[in-house]
Amino acid sequence: MPQARRRPKTHPVRSRNEVKRLVYEAFRKEFPEDTVDLSDGYKENIHVMVVSREFDRMREREKQDLMWKIIDSTDLSEDEKGLISLVFPVSPAEIK
Amino acid sequence: MTVRNFEGVSDQRKAAHKRRLDAWALLRAGRVHAHCAMYIGGYAIECKLKSVAMETFGCRTLSQLARKLDLDDASVYSHGLEALAILLPLYSTLKRSSAWRDFAGEVNRWRPSWRYDPNDIELSKATTFLEAVDRLYHWLDSNQC
């Protein structure tokens, strides 16, 4: 019996502002009390900065893994994720 | 006496290679040099992006590259890594690759103004940064047209 062909996964075409909103909401959900700042990068790019005590005891690699895990938890396409050109987790201890 | 500005493709290619080695040498010298290692490591990527752009478009100098792409000189002499990366035809491929996470997560934090920062930084942070520089550098080497 022929197997049903799987439909290719398609993504809606989102505006840049919609991508920003989805990224912001994903980070806000994970960091409800902390600073989540999304700003404009070069041209269409987006910069994400989070300042949180949660990063206090994490190594750089762990911070990055957590940030990208949150980005990957959205249903953004790879092209949409490619708009994010700066992912910057900061512990308050680093800026004091 | 003529002042060389090192805008040639071979200057930038060699400088990228040397600055990467310099950065690791500084890091090996200990924590007191770790911040400077990161500062120098950023230049390895700046030079690499410039040399790859010149090689891809068949230009011998940054001025030629600006003319070929119909840009002002500031766009190609920039220290802005995002502004330089976007010049590359492989930019969209880069953004879909794992190297983009190294770029966005570590390398793109780099600022020339780090040279004025007198504070020390943890060795582990500098190591993570330079590892990301290395992966991005090799990705650019392997994927340029």
Domain boundaries, chain B: 9-143
Residue in this structure with the two tokens 């230049």, named with its chain if needed? B43
B86 vs A contacts (CB less than 8 Å): 42-43
Query: What sections of B5-88 are H helices per DSSP?
Result: 9-28, 34-56, 62-68, 73-76, 81-85
- State the pLDDT at residue A7: 54
Instruction: Name the residue of chain B whose CA is nearest to A62's CA.
Output: B128
Collect all residues from A whose CB is shorter than 8 A from any CB in B: 41-43, 45, 59-61, 64, 67-68, 78-79, 82, 84-88
**Rounded CA separation B6/A79 (Å):** 35
Local confidence pLDDT in tens for the 145 residues of chain B: 567 889 999 999 999 999 999 999 999 999 999 999 999 999 999 999 999 999 999 999 999 999 999 999 999 999 999 999 999 999 999 999 999 999 999 999 999 999 999 999 999 999 999 999 999 999 999 997 6
Selecting from B80, B105, B109 the residue whose C-beta is nearest the C-beta of A42 gives B80
Instruction: Write down the mean pLDDT value for chain A.
Output: 91
Domain boundaries, chain A: 16-95
Q: How many CB atoms lie within 10 A of CB A74?
A: 15
pLDDT category at A8 given cuts 50, 70, 90 is low
Q: Which fold has domain B9-143?
A: Four Helix Bundle (Hemerythrin (Met), subunit A) (1.20.120)
**Rounded CA separation B68/A63 (Å):** 41
Cα of B4 to nearest chain A Cα, Å: 30
Q: How many CB atoms lie within 10 A of CB B114?
A: 16
DSSP H or E segment with residue A85: strand A84-90
- State the pLDDT at residue B67: 96
- Tokens read off for A3: 């197997």
Q: How many CB atoms lie within 10 A of CB A43?
A: 10
B6 phi and psi angles, rounded to 5 deg? 55, 40
* pTM: predicted TM-score of the whole model, two decimal places: 0.91
Q: Quote the ipTM score.
A: 0.92
Instruction: Name the residue of chain A whose CA is nearest to B94's CA.
Output: A82
Selecting from B95, B109, B124 the residue whose C-beta is nearest the C-beta of A82 gives B95
Instruction: Compute the Cα dihedral for B52, A82, B134, B109 and give only its sign.
Output: positive
Q: Which DSSP state fits A96?
A: -
**Which CATH superfamily hosts domain A16-95?**
BolA-like (3.30.300.90)
